[in-house]
Amino acid sequence: MTVSDVVELEGHIIDSGLMERAFTVVMELGGEFDIEEFRVGTSKDEESYCRMRVIAEDEATLHPILHELHQSGATLAAPTDATLEPAPADHVVPDGFYSTTNHPTDVRVDGEWVPVGNIEMDCAVVVEGVERAPDGTVEPTGDGDVTAETRVLNGIGEGDLVVTGDAGIRVKPPERPRDSSGPFGFMRGGVSAERPSASLIRDIAEAVAETKAQGGHVLCVAGPAVIHAGGGPGLARLVREGYVDAISAGNGFAVHDMERSMYGTSLGMDVETMEHPRKGHKHHIYTISEVIRAGGIEAAVEEGLITEGVMYECVENDRDFVLAGSIRDDGPLPDTITDAVEAQNAIREQAREADLVLMLSSLLHSVAVGNCLPSTTRTVCVDINPATVTQLLDRGSAQAVGMVTDVGTFVPMLAEELLE
């Protein structure tokens, strides 16, 4: 005796590698497959279609196969409604809850596909606008539209209707273009170990400019190395001229940036001459102390204490910034969010607004922001350490493309390409 189910794959399933992944998943997890129908798109815009029966010895073998196929974008040929279970308590999900990917997702409720809002990986899906009968069926309450959205664990309330299992869920991974067209065609290889060149910088600049021309939002995730390596003035120009709409960073980045404004140093090192002035090691703490005395970054700018730099331009041009604290922070600055949950929520709001994200030499913050991004958000990661991009990919941010290079060289070149 064997058990089976039928799944469908649609889109550019050959170019994107979905067909290959589907076959591999079935075989590696102990199943077999039978292709019942296969249509190949014969032009650049024509999509392909595959109807495949998945066969296994028992349900215990079949279920993990279907789960993995579903996460990659396959759907059951005969979809049913999603199963909704009430959360047993605040911050507690029902057994077998569906854990989201970062791909666009729909859930089927009362026979209709409902898009999941604020998509983010490793979250639960909560459905509102319906009520659940004792027999498990659901129907609209009549009080408004049926909606679904992702919720992190601390956002789950007792009684929330949470999607469980894999039935009635449709995942739509972004498809790889058939050619090198589009603003990211030049970096389809994932991680580039090349030094920055005029052509690569120009392509990234074009992507940023295109995003802004379309009314999009650019978020920059920046580490202290941006300032320490000499990229601060270039990033400040991008903020001032409106090419960067928001900054996501930590306490250290802001302190380095304002220390440069006040003393011309970063962690006591003169960023122009690379020399260490006498007692320069105190500048870091002096900067924090003076900003605290002023009452915060905005007050320090208004007082004339801070007269240039990234944080100065954020204040002067009303650009959003989030400084998330860590256990290693000196001070910290009054603007640094020291509550971890509050910091996560602030980063999450920035991520939801972003259409393009520049990640500059910050492994910790790049992974944190990457975890909040849907797979449709274009992401460029620049770091001297290739492990930063590798970890992004390992954590599920497959849309991230990277350049392995010195950020102190990259940022001024990008600013020059965009502004001059």
Quick: pLDDT tens for 371-405: 999 988 999 989 888 888 777 776 767 677 777 88
- Tokens 């990211």 sit at which residue? 184
- Tokens 């392909």 sit at which residue? 48
The dihedrals phi and psi of 3, each to the nearest 5 degrees, come to -120, 155
- Decide if domain 1-77 falls under CATH 3.30.70.2690: yes
| pLDDT at site 262 | 92
pTM here is 0.84
Q: What does the block give as tokens for 348?
A: 């999450």
| pLDDT at site 207 | 92
Give strand pairing partners of 250: 324
Cα(216)–Cα(29) distance, rounded to whole angstroms? 42
| pLDDT at site 278 | 66
Give strand pairing partners of 117: 149
Over 90: is that where the pLDDT of 14 sits?
no
Of 199 and 315, more confident:
315
What band does 189 get if pLDDT is binned at 50, 70 and 90?
very low
DSSP state, 187? G
- 34-48, 224-238, 328-342: segment of lowest average pLDDT: 34-48
Provide, rounded to the nearest whole percent, the portion of the chain with pLDDT above 90.
59
For all residues of the chain together, what is the average pLDDT? Answer: 88
DSSP state, 89? B
- Tokens 């520049």 sit at which residue? 358
Over 70: is that where the pLDDT of 3 sits?
yes
Q: How many residues does the chain have?
A: 420
Of 367 and 271, more confident:
367
| pLDDT at site 268 | 67
Cα(249)–Cα(366) distance, rounded to whole angstroms? 9
DSSP state, 328? T
Q: What does the block give as tokens for 56?
A: 């296994």
| pLDDT at site 396 | 64
Domain boundaries, the chain: 1-77, 79-175, 185-419
- Decide if domain 79-175 falls under CATH 3.10.180.10: no
Amino acid identity, residue 177?
P
What band does 43 get if pLDDT is binned at 50, 70 and 90?
confident
Q: Is 334 exposed, middle or buried (0-12, 13-18, 19+ CB in 10 A)?
A: middle
As a whole number of Å, the end-to-end CA separation of the chain is 70
Over 80: is that where the pLDDT of 341 sits?
yes
User: Could you tell me which of 90, 158, 84 has the C-alpha nearest to residue 125?
Assistant: 84
Peptide bond into 174 cis (omega under 30): no
What band does 248 get if pLDDT is binned at 50, 70 and 90?
very high
Do domains 1-77 and 185-419 share one topology? The answer is no
- The string of DSSP letters for 9-51 reads EEESTTTTSHHHHHHHHHHHTT-EEEEEEEE---SSSPPEEEE
Q: What does the block give as tokens for 108?
A: 């089927």
- Tokens 């995730």 sit at which residue? 221
For the segment 7-25, the average pLDDT, to the nearest whole number, is 86
- 194-205, pLDDT tens digit by residue? 555 777 888 899
Peptide bond into 334 cis (omega under 30): no
Cα(293)–Cα(308) distance, rounded to whole angstroms? 19
Gyration radius of the chain over CA positions: 25
Q: Is 60 helix (H, G, I), strand (E, B) or coil?
A: helix
383-420 per-residue burial string, b: 16 or more CB within 10 A, e: under 16: bbeeebbebbbebbbbbbbbbbbbbbbbbbbbbebbee
What band does 176 get if pLDDT is binned at 50, 70 and 90?
low
- 51-101, pLDDT tens digit by residue? 999 999 999 999 899 888 888 888 888 778 999 999 999 999 999 999 999
Of 165 and 148, more confident:
148
DSSP state, 345? H
| pLDDT at site 166 | 84
| pLDDT at site 73 | 84
The H or E element that residue 162 is part of is strand 161-164
Strands 246-250 and 320-324: parallel
What band does 13 get if pLDDT is binned at 50, 70 and 90?
confident
| pLDDT at site 68 | 87
| pLDDT at site 133 | 82
Cα(369)–Cα(134) distance, rounded to whole angstroms? 40
Q: Is 396 helix (H, G, I), strand (E, B) or coil?
A: coil
Of 80 and 147, more confident:
147
What band does 183 get if pLDDT is binned at 50, 70 and 90?
very low
Domain 185-419: give its CATH architecture. 3-Layer(aba) Sandwich (3.40)
- The string of DSSP letters for 191-235 reads EE-SPP-HHHHHHHHHHHHHHHHTT--EEEEE-THHHHTT-HHHH
Cα(50)–Cα(46) distance, rounded to whole angstroms? 14
Over 50: is that where the pLDDT of 360 sits?
yes
